[in-house]
Amino acid sequence: MTTIPASERKPLRRGVFKLTITDEFSSSHCLRNYDGPCEALHGHNFVVEAVFEGERLTQDTEMLMDFKDLKAHLKAVTDKLDHTHLNNVPYFQRRNPTAENLARFIYWELGRLMAGLPATVYEVSVYEKSTSKATYSEVL
């Protein structure tokens, strides 16, 4: 039996599954300290893309998590934002309701809801329109 020298061994890889879902919500906002038309009251039909990750599939269904359950968690968060004026949401009374801050808010809220479940939030993207998105994730 030939032994491969440590310097030539490939590092062990960890298998990870990623699941992606989307949701939409409509709301208005006014960007503070912004020199342009977006400082005035305006609205968007936001699209949210949430990516979840995990390493183990269930024994019975061989799924990381059911898409239906992931969608329900995301919907629970976006329902808090749908048809609101974002500037009036407590989190955005101290922070500018930008796409970046929206992505972070949704990421954190999803993370709280997903605590203890087999999938964790990997990243969240918020689209203001099809050509503009902001993504938030946390790295170790």
In a domain, 77, yes or no: yes
pLDDT at res. 113 = 96
In a domain, 80, yes or no: yes
Range of the domain at 62: 14-137
Q: Are strands 17-29 and 84-85 parallel, antiparallel or unpaired?
A: parallel
In a domain, 23, yes or no: yes
In a domain, 1, yes or no: no
Q: What are phi and psi of 67, to 5 degrees?
A: -55, -35
pTM of the model: 0.89
pLDDT at res. 139 = 85
What letter would DSSP give residue 88?
G
Arithmetic mean of pLDDT, 22-35:
96
In the chain, how many domains are there?
1
pLDDT at res. 2 = 64
In a domain, 4, yes or no: no
* CA atoms of 50 and 70, how far apart (whole Å): 9
Coil, strand or helix at 19: strand
Closest to 113 in 3D by CA, of 140, 78, 82, 88: 78
* Residue type at 110 in one-letter notation: L
| pLDDT at residue 6 tops 90 | no
pLDDT at res. 140 = 75
* Residue type at 21 in one-letter notation: I
In a domain, 2, yes or no: no
Tens digit of each residue's pLDDT (9 = 90 or more) over 46-95: 999 999 999 999 999 999 999 999 999 999 999 999 999 999 999 999 99
* CA atoms of 2 and 42, how far apart (whole Å): 68
In a domain, 95, yes or no: yes
| pLDDT at residue 1 tops 90 | no
In a domain, 66, yes or no: yes
pLDDT at res. 82 = 98
pLDDT band at 14 (very low <50, low <70, confident <90, very high): confident
- For the domain that residue 119 is a member of, what is the CATH number? 3.30.479.10
